[in-house]
Amino acid sequence: MRELTYAEALREGLRQAMAADSRVFLIGEDVGVYGGAFGVSAGLLQEFGSERVIDTPISEAAIAGACIGAALTGMRPVGEIQFMDFVTLSMEQLVLQASKIRFMFGGKATVPFVLRMPAGAGTGAAAQHSESLENWFVHVPGLKVVMPSTPYDAKGLLLAAIADDNPVIFVEHKLLYKTKGPVPEEVYQVPLGQGRVAREGKDLTIIATSVMVNRSLEAAAKLAAEGIEVEVIDPRSLVPLDEALIVSSVKKTGRALVVHEAVKTGGFGGEVVARICESEAFDYLEAPVRRLAGLDIPIPYNRTLEYHTVPQVEKMAAEARKLVQGAY
pTM of the model: 0.97
Per the structure, the count of domains in the chain is 2
191, part of any domain: no
pLDDT (mean) for 290-300:
98
DSSP summary character for residue 300:
P
**Per-residue confidence at 66, pLDDT binned at 50, 70, 90?**
very high
189, part of any domain: no
Residues 271, 309, single domain; the answer is yes
Residue 193's region, left for phi above 0, alpha for psi from -120 to 50, else beta, is left
CA distances from 99 to 69, 144, 236, 301 (A): 13, 9, 20, 34
Return the pLDDT at 46: 98
Residues 125, 147, single domain; the answer is yes
CATH (domain of 64)? 3.40.50.970
226, part of any domain: yes
Answer for the pair 18, 68: CB distance below 8 angstroms, yes or no.
no
**Per-residue confidence at 328, pLDDT binned at 50, 70, 90?**
confident
Return the pLDDT at 180: 98
Residues 171, 69, single domain; the answer is yes
Residues 224, 178, single domain; the answer is no
Residues 165, 247, single domain; the answer is no
**pLDDT over 90 (residue 33):** yes
pLDDT (mean) for 295-321:
98
Structural domain ending residue among the three candidates 132, 156, 182: 182
Residues 161, 203, single domain; the answer is no
pLDDT (mean) for 313-318:
98
Residues 147, 15, single domain; the answer is yes
Residues 246, 313, single domain; the answer is yes
DSSP summary character for residue 32:
S
pLDDT tens track for 205-253: 999 999 999 999 999 999 999 999 999 999 999 999 999 999 999 999 9
HSE value, Cβ hemisphere, 13 Å, CA-based, for 3: 6
CATH (domain of 218)? 3.40.50.920
Structural domain ending residue among the three candidates 182, 212, 241: 182
pLDDT (mean) for 168-187:
98
- Write out the catalytic residue numbers: 129
111, part of any domain: yes
What dihedral angle (degrees, nearest 10) is formed by the CA atoms of 260, 135, 11, 312?
-10
253, part of any domain: yes
CA distances from 108 to 101, 103, 164, 204, 258 (A): 9, 9, 15, 46, 38
Return the pLDDT at 303: 95
- Measure the CA–CA gap between 236 and 253, rounded to whole angstroms: 21
Return the pLDDT at 1: 85
188, part of any domain: no
Domain that holds residue 307: 196-325
Return the pLDDT at 327: 84
pLDDT tens track for 81-105: 999 999 999 999 999 999 999 999 9
237, part of any domain: yes
Structural domain ending residue among the three candidates 158, 182, 206: 182
How many other C-beta atoms lie within 10 A of the C-beta of residue 150? Answer: 24
278, part of any domain: yes
Residues 156, 7, single domain; the answer is yes
Residues 34, 128, single domain; the answer is yes
pLDDT tens track for 153-173: 999 999 999 999 999 999 999
Percent of the chain, pLDDT > 70?
100
Residues 42, 100, single domain; the answer is yes
Residues 61, 131, single domain; the answer is yes
DSSP summary character for residue 308:
H
Hey, which residues does 114 pair with through a beta bridge?
78, 168
Helix axes 243-253, 268-277, angle to 10 degrees: 60
- Measure the CA–CA gap between 27 and 37, rounded to whole angstroms: 13
**pLDDT over 90 (residue 22):** yes
DSSP summary character for residue 264:
S
pLDDT tens track for 270-287: 999 999 999 999 999 999
